[in-house]
Structure formats: structure tokens, C-alpha cells
Amino acid sequence: MIKNFFITFEGIDGSGKSTQAKLLIDKLASINLETLFLREPGGTSISEEIRSVLLNNRKDEMSSRTEALLMCASRAQLTKDIIIPEMKGGKWIVADRYADSTLAYQGGGRGIDLDWLIKVNHFATYGTQPDLTFYIDVDPEIGAKRRYTMVSDRIESAGLEFQKDIRAKYLEIVDKFSERCVTVDGNLSIDEISQIIWRITRDRTSIEKT
């Protein structure tokens, strides 16, 4: 029996993580593994309602602490209702964003102390950690160009400097959690990145031995 993995994708807006997360799930499914794709914030009815509060463009300014706590509240519901039971049931879970996004966005972008966020994340995730995290690294200018036709939500509207701060924090996080985090060059083509991710997934999991 192959041990199932919880794999997360991280990166700034427009880095290409959703594209790669979906390609990986297709590959895992093609070798008959039971898979589940998730994207944060969201994934349960309560978490989706929290997502609307978080991402809708509104005239009142949301405090950074409210933003961090709502991200974690959405995560707590998703983790308890879906991630923990589905991992126990043997599914391979691929998530487009998880706890590291709070460290990068609310830590790097909004300037909240990282140690606080790590503690709140630990509470929200019931101590659940991904087995493997792919961080797709791109320059914020490239991320913005790739997203130019898309409508921006409240957080994506915060601008280029904000994305630069997030990227800097991601680089710090990847270094801090280097045992589970792998940086992938997001400037390569979709196909090249997908091949790198598949090779690393095979190397780091038990798929290679099947």
C-alpha cells in the first residue's frame, strides 16, 4: 500500500500554481491514485462564505488581523471536515494554497509577526502539515502580466509592492521549512515546470517504487 501524500502549491498571484496543481492531480489520477483537489480560502460551505467576506471588493477597510483570522478560520473548517478525514481515508490531496499563504500574505504583505501567525496556523490546522510544498517562484511583474485579463479580488488589487513583499516572505519561509518545501522556477514553460514537479513528486513519495 502506498502512503498517501498531502501536497500544497504556493506562490504569488499569477505564479502559475493553480495550473500546476491541476496538472499534478491529473497525473496522480492517471496512475489510479485516489485524489482530491482543494483551493484556499474555501472548500466547505462555511469556508466558501468566509472566502466571500475575505475577497469581495468592499468600501470598508478590513483590518489585517481580521484578514489573518478569517483565513485561518476558513482553514480550520476545511482541515477538520475534509483534510484530516480524507487523509485518513487514503486520498492524495493537492491544495492550491494552504497555511504558508497566511505566512506570506498576512506576514510579508500585511506585516503581521510571523511567530504569531505560525501559532494561529498550528491551532487552525490541528497541527496538520503538508508532506510536500511546491513554491513556484516568479517575479511579481511577470505574475501581474499573466493575470492582466483577469478581474482582481480585494487582495489581488493591493498592487506590485505588496506582491514583492509577499515574494520576499515566501523565500524566507521556504528556507525555514526546507525539509518539505521545494522552489521551482516559475519562468519556465508550463510543460517544463510540470515535468520537474512530477519528477520531484515521484522521488519524494513512494510512487517511484510501485
User: What does the block give as the cell for 79?
Assistant: 482541515
Helix (H) or strand (E) holding 198: helix 190-204
193 binds, among ligand ADP, ligand TYD, none (CB under 5 to 8 A by kind): ligand ADP
Closest separation in Å from C-beta 16 to ligand TYD: 10
Which amino acid belongs to residue 20? Q
The span of 108-116, 158-166, 174-182, 185-193 binding ligand ADP (CB under 6 A) equals 185-193
**Any residues with CB less than 8 A from the CB of 128 and at least 6 apart, and which?**
6, 79, 83, 84, 87
> Which residue, among 169, 82, 97, has the nearest Cα to 130 in the 3D structure?
97
DSSP-derived secondary structure for 61-116: PPPHHHHHHHHHHHHHHHIIIIIHHHHHTT-EEEEES-HHHHIIIIIIIT---HHH
Closest separation in Å from C-beta 52 to ligand TYD: 11
128 binds, among ligand ADP, ligand TYD, none (CB under 5 to 8 A by kind): none
Closest separation in Å from C-beta 93 to ligand ADP: 17
Closest separation in Å from C-beta 90 to ligand TYD: 25
Instruction: Give residues 98-117 in contact with ligand TYD (rule: CB under 6 A).
Output: 101-102, 105-106
Which of 155, 173, 174, 197 is the binder for ligand TYD (CB under 6 A)? 155
Cα 53 to Cα 51: distance, rounded to the nearest angstrom = 5
Helix (H) or strand (E) holding 8: strand 6-10
Which of 81, 131, 137, 153 is the binder for ligand TYD (CB under 6 A)? 153
Cα 27 to Cα 37: distance, rounded to the nearest angstrom = 12
The binding track of 108-147 with respect to ligand ADP, each residue x by CB under 6 A or -, is --------------------------------------xx
Cβ burial 85-120 (10 Å sphere, 16+ → b, else e): ebbeeebbbbbbbbbbbbbbbbbbbbebebeebeeb
Instruction: Give residues 186-205 in contact with ligand ADP (rule: CB under 6 A).
Output: 186, 189-190, 193
Nearer residue to ligand TYD within complex by CB, 33 or 104: 104
Helix (H) or strand (E) holding 183: strand 181-185
Report the interface residues with ligand TYD, using CB under 6 A: 13, 18, 39-41, 55, 71, 96-97, 101-102, 105-106, 153, 155-156
Report the interface residues with ligand ADP, using CB under 6 A: 11, 13-19, 146-147, 186, 189-190, 193
